Chains A and B, each alone.
Chain A
Amino acid sequence: MSQLTIEKPWQRWSIRFGVFVAMAILTIPGLWVVLTAFRPNIEVLARPAVWIPQNPTLDNFARLFGLSSEQQGLPVAQYFINSLVISITSTLVAVAIGMAGGYAFARFRFPGKGGLFLAFMLSRTVPGVALSLPLFIIWARLGLIDTSFGLILVYLAVNIPFTIWLTDGFFRQIPVDLSEAAQIDGCTRWQAFWKVEFPLARSGLASAAIFAFLTSWNEYALASQLTRTTASKTMPVGLMDFTAQFTVDWTGMSAMAVLIIIPALVLTFVVQKHLIAGLTFGGVK
């Protein structure tokens, strides 16, 4: 594109200015929260506003983990562990189940294929809030309320359809010839899958896993209704607790926000190339 139109200097500068403003809007709110996480509370309330932290501190994080004497800590460590366990387990299982489904859609012709695919996709459109109402009733009867298992099961259902959609796209990109060649080379269909198709789909599966992890890690609507105590509460629910337990503890909440964003941030940067590929795949080709 850039070679197609000859830009005048004022055009180039206005493009740069536009990009700068957009990036500022995208980054400054997050940066503001991160800065707050390292401020003492007085600085937040100060008039006139203090922009650059004058006395950076780790107190807010210490407080979260109950390491500070002045306040009863929230069980954030436990929330963090719950979140990790629930997200990772549901991601691994969802990717395994979703991969099987995606492979079936990519490689087989069978009666009811179109309808089944649509049904899976439609199941994903059900809003979490709407689903939480009946799930609450059923989970209560089954004794699954406030258990990690109950939440993992729910996140499976949330993540499987999207995983199917993505892996279907990825497996389609791998020529059928390869699996056939492997079968002629002496593989069973099962071996052909694990030795040839699976290794080739690995980067796609990684991106499916990231999406599943982010969805579980960030989910609030369902978790807020299906968890009760430290036994299964996740980080987003814990963040909301802040508003209930204290007046509003901006610095504490900011510190917790930082804890929520860090794993997501790290994961996303590690595989960002695959993320875009993953999003465009199922759709375009």
Chain B
Amino acid sequence: MAEVRLEKVVKRYGKIEVVHGIDLEIAHNEFVVLVGPSGCGKSTTLRMIAGLEDASDGAITIGDRVVNELPPRARNISMVFQSYALYPHMTVRDNLGFGLKIAGQDEALIKKSVDAAAEILGLEPYMDRLPANLSGGQRQRVAMGRAIVRDPDVFLFDEPLSNLDAKLRGQMRVEIKKLHQRVKTTVIYVTHDQVEAMTLADRIVIMRDGYIEQIGTPTEVFERPVNTFVAGFIGSPPMNQLDAVVRGGKAVLSDGVEVPLGPDHKVSEGQAIILGFRPESFAPKGHSLHGEANALAIERTVNIAEPLGTETILFADLGGLEVQGKMLNPRVVKEGETLGFTLDLSKLHVFDKASGRSVSA
């Protein structure tokens, strides 16, 4: 059983504070992904949990122990590094068994655990190779195997897929998910890739500049981003965000288009807001995701069309910016063609312009 709890955890390098007192509770067996742009403090946070960096302040608890003063080896964790950090001078077998050997386990037991992990990850054919003779995907697997073998309380992943090509990354993502279903353990996973975060996480922790911006399930952070940063970070292509002013219950864009706001949005007359909507909510008539019962019709000229097969991304000018729309069941669209778009009014996100915070319910 291992919950992980961070209380007011701070990291300072000299006078520079990079993590500003974050609080986070992770339940047993939960898969939590820390995500954010580079420099947001996610890796530092992970390394503090691992014990590779000292927390400057606050408390880190794993299970029922405060681990701040414990060295990494005493925390019963394992970690998969971005570089994999395989020991180049040891065979795959020795890499996998290293932790158990250090712990002084007997040979037969080590062999059993190593073989079991190798079977899970399909590493049996490579057991006597050195890391240098493995492909990227195989190295990644060995790194995960090394983590599994030790049967830790907490698994830490530090951007484990970022050295793989796109196709392999997709495969490994699925494998990591399967692995978690199989070896039920608490997982803390760091990535800068929001797709990885959405697909893998039970809960996502979105960080920026050493602060936690939002914690929630993938659905929550996607459907109800608390601020413009989260709104822009989660989802691909990103949410369209347009400056607007509230007039008579409508959001008036800079090009004069008026978008009616429902009662869910707490706005006041004359308030400067940012109106957000995802490309899925802006589609040509007859090609939208959610139907067009509660939609605003807007006619626009398509600047560029990017056909992706099952959908086409359309670029058009709206509210002084170029916005993206998504056309499902696409037909061929020519650049310069004028289309009747529908904007789904039930999927609007409204943010206060001054604070960037969401005012939608």
A-side residues, CB < 8 A to B, are 175, 177-178, 180-189, 191, 195-196, 199-200
Given contacts A180-B52, A199-B89, contact A186 B102 (CB under 8 A): yes
Contacts of B82 on A, CB cut-off 8 Å?
A: 177
Which of B78, B79, B85, B99 is A178 in contact with, Cβ under 8 Å? B85
Name the CB-closest residue of A to B13: A109
* Chain A nearest Cβ from B136, distance in angstroms: 16
Cα A183 to Cα B150 in complex, Å, equals: 13
A172 to B89, CA, bound (A): 17
Residues from chain A with a CB closer than 8 A to the CB of B77 are: 184
Contact between chains at A180 and B81 (CB < 8 Å) = yes
Report Cα–Cα, A196/B98, bound state, in Å: 10
Q: Give Cα distance in the complex from A189 to B103, angstroms.
A: 14
List of B residues within 8 angstroms of A191 by Cβ: 102
Least CB distance, B41 to chain A, in whole angstroms: 18
Chief secondary structure at chain A's binding surface: helix
Q: A193 to B230, alpha carbons, bound, how many Å?
A: 42
Return chain B residues, CB-CB under 8 Å to A188. 71, 73
Instruction: Please determine whether B87 and A196 come into contact, CB atoms closer than 8 angstroms.
Output: yes
**What residues of chain B lie closer than 8 Å to A183, measured between beta carbons?**
51-52, 71-73
Contact of B163 with A by CB under 8 A:
no
B50 interface residue (CB < 8 Å to A): yes
Which chain B residues (73-93) contact chain A, with CB distance < 8 Å? 73, 77-79, 81-83, 85, 87-89
Task: State the Cβ distance, B110 to closest chain A Cβ, in Å.
Answer: 13
Complex Cα gap A199–B81 (Å) = 21
Is the C-beta of B11 less than 8 angstroms from some C-beta in chain A?
A: no
Are A180 and B87 within 8 A (Cβ)? no
Q: Which residues from B are CB-within-8-Å of A180? A: 50, 52, 72, 79, 81, 85
Closest to A178 in B: B85
Counting CB contacts under 8 A, is B278 at the interface? no
Complex alpha-carbon distance, A175 and B50, angstroms? 18
Complex CA gap A195/B102 in Å reads: 10
B residues near A (Cβ < 8 Å) are 50-52, 71-73, 77-79, 81-83, 85, 87-89, 98-99, 102-103, 146, 150
A-chain residues with CB within 8 Å of residue B52 when the two chains form the complex = 180, 183-184
**Is A177's CB under 8 angstroms from B83's CB?**
yes
- The answer to whether B78 and A187 have CB atoms under 8 Å apart is no
Q: 27 A-B pairs, CB-CB below 8 angstroms? A: A177-B81, A177-B83, A178-B87, A180-B50, A180-B72, A180-B79, A180-B85, A181-B79, A181-B85, A182-B98, A182-B102, A183-B51, A183-B72, A183-B73, A184-B50, A184-B52, A184-B79, A185-B98, A185-B146, A185-B150, A186-B73, A186-B102, A186-B150, A187-B102, A188-B73, A196-B89, A199-B89
Tell me the complex Cα distance, A180–B83, Å. 12
| A residues near B79, Cβ cutoff 8 Å | 180-181, 184
A184-B78, A185-B146 as given contacts; A200 in contact with B83, CB under 8 Å:
no
Chain B residues whose C-beta falls within 8 Å of the C-beta of A177 in the assembled complex: 81-83, 85
Q: Are B89 and A184 in contact (CB under 8 A)?
A: no
Closest Cβ of chain A to B76, distance in Å, is 9
| Residues of chain A lying within 8 A (CB to CB) of residue B51 | 183-184
Which chain B residue has the least Cβ–Cβ distance from A199?
A: B89
**Most chain A CB inside 10 Å of its own CB: which residue of B71, B87, B88:** B87
**Residues of A contacting B103 with CB < 8 Å?**
186
User: Given the complex, which residues of A lie within 8 Å of B87, measured CB to CB?
Assistant: 178, 181-182, 196
What would 8 more interface pairs be, CB under 8 Å, given A177-B81, A180-B50? A177-B83, A180-B79, A181-B146, A182-B87, A183-B52, A183-B73, A186-B150, A200-B88
What are the residues of chain B within 8 A of A196 when measuring CB–CB? Answer: 87, 89
**Residue among A182, A186, A189, A191 with max Cβ neighbours from chain B (10 Å):** A186
CB distance from A176 to the nearest CB of B (A): 9
CA distance A177 to B50 in the complex (A): 13
Complex CA–CA separation, A178 to B82 (angstroms): 11
CB distance from A165 to the nearest CB of B (A): 24
CA distance A200 to B90 in the complex (A): 10
A236 to B278, CA, bound (A): 82
The 10 closest A-B pairs by CB, nearest first: A177-B85, A185-B99, A181-B85, A186-B102, A183-B72, A186-B73, A184-B72, A184-B79, A177-B81, A199-B89
Query: How far apart sit A199 and B78, CA to CA, in the bound complex (Å)?
Result: 23
In contact, A184 and B88 (Cβ under 8 angstroms): no
B73–A184 contact, CB under 8 A?
A: yes
Task: Give A238 Cβ to nearest chain B Cβ, in Å.
Answer: 42
Q: Which residues of B contact A181 (CB under 8 A)?
A: 79, 81, 85, 87, 146
The distance in angstroms between the C-alpha atoms of A186 and B89, with both chains bound, is 18
Q: B residues within 8 A CB of A199?
A: 89
List B contacts of A182 (CB < 8 A).
87, 98, 102
B78: chain A residues within 8 A (beta carbon): 184-185
Question: Which residues of B lie under 8 Å from residue A189 when comparing CB positions?
Answer: 71
* Set of chain B residues within 8 Å of A185, measured between Cβ atoms: 73, 78, 98-99, 102, 146, 150
CB nearest neighbor in B for A185 = B99
Q: What's the nearest-Cβ distance from chain B to residue A126, in Å?
A: 35
A178 to B87, CA, bound (A): 7
Q: Give the docked Cα–Cα distance between A200 and B86 (Å).
A: 12
Complex CA–CA separation, A216 to B150 (angstroms): 48
- Is there contact, CB below 8 Å, between B85 and A175? yes
Q: Quick check: A187 and B83 within 8 Å, CB to CB?
A: no
Known contacts A184-B73, A199-B89; A175/B83 CB under 8 A = yes
